[in-house]
């Protein structure tokens, strides 16, 4: 113990503290950015590659044989690109707040440590969801750039893609937190990922139009929380906005608000035991 390094009295001298919401959220967000940056290549490569495999196999591979016309007035490559970029925002966010959050909650007990600070419980989790939203924005932008290089044709409206990725990331981070709040052992997540996330990824209009077959299916499809994101992303690629686009926007924001509220409520109960 080297006590000379700190002058007597200095250890306990009062320090100015920033206890405002913005700085608290920034602290939590920055923690995740810092950790993520360390393992950037290992963390970011699989989800980006995964989306691109789908894109290559389905849009470029299968699509070039079977689908000369595309859907929704878009060439098929562009159609799939617009869907996959929203899907990748969902994937990266939902994995962070399921497996990642569970490890911090149960194994690393990080939230216990945070409870010892002035951070509000809401700030702990909103900061985390904002990080996922940031990831969603970055991932969807990366997918946009690469698919464009591979032949998708964006419009100027596609500059708004990061925004859709951001909100989609936030929404699915919240969904992940709600699920995590119920989970007892980490293996339970496989029910959620294969039972919910995978079908959502495939059947929200990512690769083919779900709507237009049956009326009831239209309603169901629109209610799946990823569909509004894909609908909006597609509107950007088409540069055409219809009443359905408006409904999608309202649904996306509505779902985000709902799951934000649920996630905080559930996680508060879980953390305070």
Partner 1 sequence: MLARGLAKHFRDVRAVDGVDFAVAPNECVGFLGPNGAGKTTLMRLIYSALRKTAGELSVFGLTPMQQRKQINAGVGVVFQENNLDEDLNAAECLLIHALYCGLSFRTARRRAAELLEWMALSPKARSTIRTLSGGMVRRLMIARALLHSPRLLILDEPTTGLDPQVRHTIWAALRELKRQGMTILLTTHYMEEAQQLSDRVLIMDRGRIILSGPPNELIGQHLERYVLQASGLTEVPAATDGIRHERAGDADCFYSNAEPLLQALYDRLPTRSAVLRHANLEDVFLKFTGRGLHE
Binding site for partner 1 (CB under 8 A): 1-3, 5-6, 8-19, 23-24, 26-28, 30-31, 34-35, 38, 108-110, 112-120, 272-273
Beta bridge partners of 74: 71
CA distance 156 to 245: 17
CA distance 87 to 136: 9
Least gap, CB of 97 to partner 1 (angstroms) = 15
Least gap, CB of 9 to partner 1 (angstroms) = 6
Query: Quick one: angle between helices 121-149 and 76-95, nearest 10?
Result: 150
CB nearer partner 1, residue 109 or residue 213: 109
Rg (CA), the chain: 21
CB nearer partner 1, residue 135 or residue 234: 135
Least gap, CB of 11 to partner 1 (angstroms) = 6
CA distance 192 to 183: 10
CB nearer partner 1, residue 12 or residue 66: 12
Least gap, CB of 5 to partner 1 (angstroms) = 4
CB nearer partner 1, residue 29 or residue 79: 29
Q: Residue 75 corresponds to which tokens in the numbers above?
A: 């060439």
User: Could you please report the per-residue DSSP string of 145-207?
Assistant: HHHHHTT----GGGGGHHHHHHHHHHHHHHHHHHHHHH-SSGGGHHHHIIIIIHHHHHTTTTS
How many residues would you count in the chain?
A: 273
CB nearer partner 1, residue 16 or residue 243: 16
Least gap, CB of 206 to partner 1 (angstroms) = 32
């Amino acid at each position: 113990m080297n006590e000379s390094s700190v002058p007597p009295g200095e250890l306990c001298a009062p320090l100015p503290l920033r206890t405002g919401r913005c700085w608290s959220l920034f602290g939590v967000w920055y923690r995740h950015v810092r950790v993520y940056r360390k393992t950037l290549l290992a963390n970011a490569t699989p989800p980006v590659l995964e989306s691109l495999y789908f894109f290559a196999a389905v849009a470029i591979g299968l699509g070039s044989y079977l689908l000369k016309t595309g859907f929704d007035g878009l060439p098929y490559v562009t159609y799939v690109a617009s869907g996959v970029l929203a899907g990748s925002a969902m994937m990266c966010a939902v994995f962070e707040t399921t497996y990642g959050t569970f490890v911090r909650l149960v194994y690393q007990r990080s939230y216990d440590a945070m409870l010892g600070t002035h951070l509000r419980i809401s700030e702990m989790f909103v900061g985390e969801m904002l990080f996922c939203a940031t990831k969603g924005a970055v991932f969807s932008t990366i997918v946009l750039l690469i698919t464009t290089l591979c032949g998708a044709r964006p419009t100027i409206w596609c500059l708004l893609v990061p925004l859709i990725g951001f909100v989609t990331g936030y929404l699915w981070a919240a969904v992940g937190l709600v699920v995590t709040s119920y989970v007892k052992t980490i293996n339970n997540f496989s029910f959620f990922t294969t039972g919910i996330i995978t079908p959502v990824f495939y059947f929200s209009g990512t690769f083919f139009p779900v709507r237009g077959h049956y009326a009831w299916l239209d309603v169901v499809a629109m209610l799946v929380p990823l569909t509004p994101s894909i609908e909006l992303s597609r509107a950007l690629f088409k540069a055409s906005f219809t009443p359905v686009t408006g409904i999608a926007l309202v649904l996306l924001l509505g779902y985000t608000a709902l799951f934000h509220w649920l996630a905080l409520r559930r996680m508060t109960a879980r953390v305070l035991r």
